[in-house]
Amino acid sequence: MKTNRFWAWLVFAIGAAYFIIPLLATFEFSLRMRRGTYSFDAYASVFADPAFARSFTYSVVVGLFTIVVGVLVVVPAVYFVRLRMPWLRPFMEFVTLLPLVIPALVLVYGYIRLYNSSSLIPFTGSALGTDILLTCAYVTLALPYMYRAVDNGMRTIDIGTLTEAAQIMGANQVQIIGQIILPNILVAILSGAFLTFAIVIGEFTIASLLNRPAFGPYLVGIGTNRAYEPAALAIISFVITWGAMGMINVLGRFAPRTSARTD
């Protein structure tokens, strides 16, 4: 058994080295901007750049809209399919698997062909329309994660009983979803939301092909023109991703545990 443990530590140590060294190296590199000494100049330069604030704000706003639209599309659908139309489940599973199968690059190619300015629904004809298309593209991209989070959330609460109880008390459908179901799966929804945010915030492919001034294309621009700022931006992005994932972990502790499991 001793040897077993030795190998386990060895594998773990090599893995940890592979994951930690790039982070350390990036951090070290980001401090090298001033010659001969370590400084946070690269970070100062990044934060002083108005394009950083502009593109970051743009992506945050698109991310927030993506979360809202995603919740509005997914939550009612999952609720009613679980409650009344279980025969639609395979269809939902299939649809939510598609964004993992069809590369985002291919999807956006389809959007550009389908929704150009001379088409029936000219999304790309105006800046606002393109913003809407970008948001919808991100909702699609995040669909597998949002769906799974919400579906898991609904599995742990007994939506059948809750719905019946609410109906007996005289609640209508909007009240049931808004005041009974939603608060009960809030933790699951927030997990999906943070994951969505982590995916959307630095997304490059779709934003750049739709020509939107998002954070991802800004990053690539900095990467080709600057030396030390990219490293600082990589560290900043890592911290943001860490923050989003950390929130999911923290929220997990508040998830309802007293569940009437239905499966």
183 binds other proteins (CB under 8 A): no
Let me know if 112 is exposed, middle or buried by CB neighbors in 10 A (0-12, 13-18, 19+): middle
116 binds other proteins (CB under 8 A): no
Q: Interface residues for other proteins in 143-172 (CB under 8 A)?
A: 143, 155, 158-160, 163-164, 167, 172
C-alpha angle with apex 59: 58 to 64, nearest 5 degrees? 100
18 binds other proteins (CB under 8 A): yes
Among residues 60, 77, 132, 247, the one that binds other proteins under rule CB under 8 A: 77
Among residues 40, 45, 64, 76, the one that binds other proteins under rule CB under 8 A: 76
| CA–CA dist 119, 123 (Å, integer) | 9
51 binds other proteins (CB under 8 A): no
Closest CA to 141 of 67, 76, 89, 72: 67
101 binds other proteins (CB under 8 A): yes
| CA–CA dist 114, 121 (Å, integer) | 8
Closest CA to 236 of 191, 261, 202: 202
205 binds other proteins (CB under 8 A): yes
21 binds other proteins (CB under 8 A): yes
178 binds other proteins (CB under 8 A): no
57 vs 119, which CB is nearer to other proteins?
Answer: 119
Among residues 47, 54, 127, 242, the one that binds other proteins under rule CB under 8 A: 242
238 binds other proteins (CB under 8 A): yes
233 binds other proteins (CB under 8 A): yes
Q: Nearest distance from residue 233's CB to other proteins, in Å?
A: 6
200 binds other proteins (CB under 8 A): no
| CA–CA dist 223, 118 (Å, integer) | 35
Place of tokens 């009240």: 175
Place of tokens 């329309």: 129
Closest CA to 208 of 46, 58, 48: 58
Asked if residue 192 lies in contact with residue 149, where contact means CB atoms within 8 angstroms, the answer is yes
Q: Nearest distance from residue 121's CB to other proteins, in Å?
A: 8
